Amino acid sequence: MMGIANVSSPEVFVLLGFSARPSLEPILFFVVSGFYVASILGNGIIILVSCMDVHLHTPMYFFLGNLSFLDISFTTSIVPQLLVNLWGPQKTISYGRCVVQFYISHWLGATECVLLAVMSYDRYAAICRPLHYTVIMHPQLCLSLALASWLGGLTTSMVGSTLTMLLPLCGNNRIDHFFCEMPLIMQLACVDTSLNEVEMYVASFIFVVLPLGLILVSYSHIAKAVMKIGSAEGWRKAFNTCSSHVAVVALFYGSIIFMYLQPAKSNSHEQGKFIALFYTVVTPMLNPLIYTLRNKDVKKALGRITLENCCGFVGSRRHI
């Protein structure tokens, strides 16, 4: 019985998070709360506008709507528990919630990598094959690519997270992070994790490195096509078409690469928490800002919807 108890899963995990800096926690609570609300509102507006305005019923905005829904889901899987832990003295999360958190965060993280690659292919088709764009990016293909992104992420999460969940933890329950992340759960295991590590490296190659490679290939072709454009107007259109997506990719992959290239020191681990905070809280808030501030179509759609709703409200008041 004692042997079974020693390898059983803990009822709760302790998320150490930023507890080493207690004076910083109240500040982080209000900052993270503000970013979270802004992220929900910004991405919600993108989804609403993409659905309501017929001018935005195009492949680009279909994928952008998927990205916004993904960002809302990703932040919601992490931030509420983070706020609870930042506000109160309790830094715990139940075993069940921790499992759900690393299943969902793993799923959505992998999905975003693939979805960003799909969006880069859409931009390639728009710039390099403009005459055949509507034929290439037909609705069935767009739906298939979106489903492939979501199902691919779900598959790798089910495999990797399930293998991690099966590891005996021998009572270890202290996670030096602010959310349940698969590699950190693996570090708590009291058995050899070679199989899990191999699976994680293979999955990282398929869902992180390969999509990044596809993005780079797409933009190399786009760069070649743009170099052949003689007019300044053509350059401007190409820049407007791609700049928002390039900025989002740079934010997402830049923070991930910077975090994983850090040396294995205790102070770098603390820095890693703030980088993780950036890509889990700040980046999802910045994405809708990038796409609305640099995108005339979205701003025009927002104006049309606002005008229609205002006119509709005034008209209904007059009838009353």
pLDDT at residue 6 is higher than 70: no
Q: Could you report the per-residue pLDDT of 118-177, keeping only the tens digit for each?
A: 999 999 999 999 889 999 999 999 999 999 999 999 999 999 999 988 888 877 788 888
pLDDT at residue 7 is higher than 70: no
Q: Residue 114's pLDDT band (boundaries 50, 70, 90)?
A: very high
Compute the distance between CA of residue 22 and CA of residue 68 in angstroms, rounded to an integer. Answer: 33
Identify whether 154 is part of a domain: yes
The region of weakest confidence among 99-108, 213-222, 238-247 is 238-247
- Mean pLDDT in the chain? 85
Closest CA to 157 of 198, 106, 120: 106
Q: Residue 313's pLDDT band (boundaries 50, 70, 90)?
A: very low
Cβ–Cβ < 8 Å for 77, 104: yes
Identify whether 2 is part of a domain: no
Compute the distance between CA of residue 52 and CA of residue 100 in angstroms, rounded to an integer. Answer: 33
Give the model's pLDDT for residue 312.
57
Cβ–Cβ < 8 Å for 175, 18: no
Instruction: Determine the structural domain holding residue 213 and report its residue range.
Output: 12-300
Identify whether 317 is part of a domain: no
Q: Residue 267's pLDDT band (boundaries 50, 70, 90)?
A: low
Identify whether 310 is part of a domain: no
Identify whether 5 is part of a domain: no
CATH number of the domain encompassing residue 67 = 1.20.1070.10
- Residues 6 or more apart whose Cβ sits within 8 Å of residue 287: 42, 43, 67, 68, 71, 248, 251
Overall domain count for the chain? 1
Beta strands across the sheet bearing 174-175? 92-94, 12-15, 174-175
Its pTM stands at 0.87
Identify whether 315 is part of a domain: no
